[in-house]
Structure 1
């Protein structure tokens, strides 16, 4: 009899414990669901609210049936065209320190590719061919047919293709810690579907909000920083930049057999202490070894050298161009 009572007690205790666990799981699921719903709704409301806070800059030019934003400053006889690195939310604002240093001497044109800054998004494949052709079409729309091409990061890949296609238009190429076709790590498979989910759910916004402020240490004024934050939230992981990410390896491979034209003046401003890419400086030295006018200069600083080294870069660039005349 005692044994039976003990068994029944154990069953009752197990049943109560199971009910408690199931209730706890239920509460947890509801809490997670409620949390995700709040994040999703806040993201939608924030997107609409921030849309009205965006301040326009530059001008829209027709490219492939869409609008591409282009910012122009300076009235120099020579033109410098700036191309951004991957994922730069607002290129015209991001390049501001460099534009300020260049514009007293050159006409400076900042191109914001589709999906960047104030340009339209696009569903068109982000192949190296399309990206280069669209940038060229923007310049054609502005009737600019002779210029120095200056590119940051992945623009080193697009720029390499560009100068081979439009060699008669480009008078020099300047790389700002620019990518090299043979650098390692371009074949890593990226979790694009997961990134899409983060974007749609609003979790990407949340993660960005709780992460350290990437603009805090920049020397930009507060208004510019705020615009950069808003445009970063607007443009992150849009269809254009996600497709560009998907095409990283393909685009790097497409440029593998390309070299800079021998007679094209080339100067690279390279991060001196890059620890992520093996042989970063030698990779750039290899690119200019056969150039009649080729130079590699290193600077202490981060990947966005133009945030902190614009003055020195412009001084050295102007001296370089003067020396080869």
Structure 2
């Protein structure tokens, strides 16, 4: 179903399940929510009223002709959707890049935030890109380099060159998947995904998205569940250690970047227990 937000952009929103409302925020940046919905929905919708949102300019949602993809605009979109769905409080669930949106919304709208769930989420893109670059260079058996953290254009260019070389040698999939069959599952779902480049290009050239958002974690008093893959080489397996939420649970899964594929029974138990703490 399409929902029209305050500036006229139509966003794809789907809702299914029961329990506490929970909005899913996909990563990428520039991906969509369909693969997560089809893979994880079967377990999540038993415990949560799931709302699957494709961010503006992503997946089945409309691109913004004016390329208004600021962090404020994306947070405003979330608040518009909450109001349209007449939800008093909801859980923010962010995967990868979506963690930045979840934490910023929770910081700005604590009165409407019941809790936060982070799946393999980054809250500092500089750190995560630097980790991938250095891990990639080791995998390629190349010497480490000084990372240009203060120059976004140089950082992203180095990141893209490293990923391109890894992909040429069929080495990058192991950064995101422990089992190559899991990638095939996602690829089958993504056959109908139309990638729109403007959103991703905006994010990777924007200083605001490359801020360190981990200091915000100290201010979020709501319960937080952090789910991390012990072999997540897209974000970094120890990135979660930089989070400082006052009330958090850490759930480590023997998996990579897509933990919702790796051990669903363990994941369902962890989600179920976390939901009970919010009732």
- TM > 0.5 between the two? yes
- Among 174, 177, 189, the residue aligned to 2:152: 189
Unaligned runs of 5+ in 1: 1-58, 195-203
Question: Which of 221, 224, 236 is residue 266 of structure 1 equivalent to?
Answer: 224
Find the counterpart in structure 2 of residue 61 from structure 1.
Answer: 3
What are the ranges of 5 or more consecutive residues in structure 2 without an aligned counterpart?
A: 131-148, 158-163
| SS of equivalent residue, structure 2 residue 216 | coil
Aligned match of 1:11: none
Q: Give the total of aligned pairs.
A: 243
Q: Deviations over 1:22-54 (max 9, x none)?
A: xxxxxxxxxxxxxxxxxxxxxxxxxxxxxxxxx
- Report whether the alignment pairs 1:111 with 2:53: yes
Return the alpha-carbon distance in structure 2 between the equivalents of residues 228 and 130 of structure 1: 26
Answer yes or no: is 1:173 the counterpart of 2:116: yes
Does structure 1 retain, via aligned residues, the 8 Å contact 2:47–2:272?
A: no
Q: 1:229 aligns with which of 168, 191, 209?
A: 191
RMSD between aligned residues: 3.3
**Cα separation, 2, equivalents of 1:108 and 1:191:** 39
What's the CA shift for 1:182?
8.0
Q: 1:171 to 1:278 in 2, by over 3 A?
A: closer
Q: Which is higher, the Rg of structure 1 or of structure 2?
A: 1
Q: Does 1:137 align with 2:89?
A: no
Matched, 1:217 2:181: yes
Specify whether residues 77 and 281 from structure 1 end up closer, same or farther in structure 2 by C-alpha distance, changes over 3 A only: closer
Map residues 244-259 of structure 1 onto 2, 5 A cutoff.
Answer: 244-247=203-206, 249-253=207-211, 255=213, 257-259=215-217
Residue aligning to 1:302: 256
Q: Secondary structure of the equivalent of 2:203?
A: helix
Tell me, what secondary structure is at the counterpart of 2:10?
Answer: strand
Output the CA distance in 2 between the equivalents of 1:193 and 1:301.
26
